[in-house]
Amino acid sequence: MLNEHIEAIVKSTLFKGIDKKELGLVMNCLCPRVSDYRKNEHIVLTGDSFIGLGLVLQGEATVIKENSAGKRIMMTILKQGDLFGEMIAFSHYSDWLASVQAQSDCTVMYLPKEKIISQCEHSCPWHRKLIENMLAILSEKALQLNKKVEYLTMKSIREKICTFLLDQYKMTGRATFMLPMNRNELADFLNVSRPSLSREMCKLRDEGVIDFHLATVRILDVKTLQTCLE
């Protein structure tokens, strides 16, 4: 089983930094359950009891969350090497909070949470690495959600845009940079409508604060950009 799926395992953040040669031992110790699913089949269902952290070895799947009224909303697309269930694995929940459905024929590996934190008799060095990776995965997840909350909490589109552009400015260190997504995706990320986003960006251009052409943006007046956030 290992050889045919080694690619997915190596790709995943959970096994990052663990030597390829060691993976045999690791898997032997973790003895994960592996299951196959056909296209459109449900991999897990909301409310099913949680059996372990999921890792997509093969194929593509979607995470679907049902709201209080039962409406289904697609949350994420999972590809080879992606994890799911990482937020509930070590929480007080014992059931899945969302469903996962196969978009193509899929192979999924389940890692029981006890196996991840338990120190096996030999107290293998990679075990520590596994725990470290798990902590890093959860931390990054929380930070990413935190960032999202920050954007969603802003009241005006202008504030969202200015913050986003200043973030990009800081990250790239240049006044001229490329936006990492198209208008639709950006509007989605900021939780506003695409035309409203365009309208506001054009206003900023008319005011001489920024200039842009498609994905290329140049910040002309950092100070004014900052005053939008005060």
Partner DNA sequence: AAAAGTCGGTATCCTAGGTTACAAAAAGAA
Partner DNA sequence: TTCTTTTTGTAACCTAGGATACCGACTTTT
196 binds DNA (CB under 7 A): yes
| Furthest-apart CA atoms within the chain: distance in Å | 68
Question: From DNA, its own copies, none, which one binds at residue 117 (CB under 5 to 8 Å depending on kind)?
Answer: its own copies
Counting other chains too, the contacts that 153-157 makes at CB distance below 8 Å and 24 or more residues apart are 157/190, 157/192, 157/196, 157/197, 157/200
Q: How far is the CB of 38 from its own copies (least distance, A)?
A: 29
Which residues share a beta bridge with 198?
none
Distance, first Cα to last Cα, the chain: 57
77 binds DNA (CB under 7 A): no
209 binds DNA (CB under 7 A): no
227 binds DNA (CB under 7 A): no
Cα 97 to Cα 87: distance, rounded to the nearest angstrom: 10
From 76-84, 118-126, 196-204, 207-215, span contacting its own copies (CB under 8 A): 118-126
Residue 65 burial (CB < 10 Å; 0-12/13-18/19+)? Answer: middle
Radius of gyration of the chain (CA): 22
Question: From its own copies, DNA, none, which one binds at residue 200 (CB under 5 to 8 Å depending on kind)?
Answer: DNA
141 binds its own copies (CB under 8 A): yes
155 binds DNA (CB under 7 A): yes
From 52-60, 72-80, 113-121, 209-217, span contacting DNA (CB under 7 A): 209-217
Q: How far is the CB of 151 from DNA (least distance, A)?
A: 12
Q: Would you say 127 and 56 are in contact if contact means Cβ atoms under 8 Å apart?
A: no
Q: Would you say 216 and 182 are in contact if contact means Cβ atoms under 8 Å apart?
A: no
Cα 208 to Cα 219: distance, rounded to the nearest angstrom: 9
Candidates 2, 10, 74, 117; binder of its own copies (CB under 8 A) is 117
DSSP code of residue 95: B
From 3-11, 77-85, 144-152, 190-198, span contacting DNA (CB under 7 A): 190-198
From 101-109, 150-158, 197-205, 207-215, span contacting its own copies (CB under 8 A): 150-158
196 binds its own copies (CB under 8 A): no
Q: Would you say 55 and 106 are in contact if contact means Cβ atoms under 8 Å apart?
A: no
Cα 94 to Cα 50: distance, rounded to the nearest angstrom: 6
Task: Give the interface with DNA as residue ranges (CB under 7 A).
Answer: 155-158, 182-184, 192-202, 212-215
Task: Give the interface with its own copies as residue ranges (CB under 8 A).
Answer: 67-71, 86-93, 97, 117-119, 123, 128, 131-132, 134-136, 138-143, 145-146, 148-150, 152-153, 162-163, 166-167, 170, 191, 225-230
